[in-house]
Amino acid sequence: MIILGIDPGLRTTGFGVIEKHGSKLRYIASGTIKTGLEGALPPRLKIILDGVREVVATYGPQCAAIEKVFVNVNPQSTLLLGQARGAAISALVGFDLDVAEYSPTQIKQSVVGTGKAAKPQVQDMVARLLKLPGLPGSDAADALGVAICHAHSHDTLALLNVLSPQKGALRMKNGRLV
């Protein structure tokens, strides 16, 4: 299964593509979609939308995952981040991909083992888990972390659904099993 992870941002949106075979993860690609620091909001959102579309068209993932918006001290920053995230999600659902959402804490917990991990720790563990020759950039590492988190969560959810008396009865909602 090919998984696309997205770390949304208005200036820089990270993407990471991995392949999962059983319990093994394989790095495929990662990078960033840059909109720049200036300019009107609509054209910057279009850059994100088009960039995510290009990544999906190039790598053909079967599913996608994106980091949830966290509330900043500055509400304006939170709103802008939410719009960037919306552009990325729109591109993903435009390809009929299932999109999972994970909080920064869930991602760090899945990749590093603690929800309070620093960015360099995430970069290091992503490089180790995917056997990369060097550290990926922070935005690409975060996106790869989202994909790794989904790879781990997808298996657990699938296993729980197999064990459940009502097939398909369990699912993730707002980061919780319901």
- pLDDT tens per residue across span 20-52: 998 899 999 999 999 987 889 999 999 999 999
Locate 156 and state its tokens: 């657990």
Pick the closest to residue 49 from 105, 78, 8, 18 (CA basis). Answer: 8
Pick the closest to residue 15 from 72, 54, 70 (CA basis). Answer: 54
Question: How many Å apart are CA 147 and CA 67, to the nearest integer?
Answer: 10
Q: Angle, nearest 10°, between helix axes 138-163 and 104-111?
A: 80
Predicted confidence at residue 77, as pLDDT, reads: 83
pTM of the model: 0.85
For the chain, which ranges sit under pLDDT 50? 162-163
Predicted confidence at residue 170, as pLDDT, reads: 55
Predicted confidence at residue 114, as pLDDT, reads: 79
Annotated catalytic residues are 7, 67, 139
Exposed / middle / buried, residue 158 (Cβ in 10 Å: 0-12, 13-18, 19+)? exposed
Pick the closest to residue 67 from 16, 110, 8 (CA basis). Answer: 8
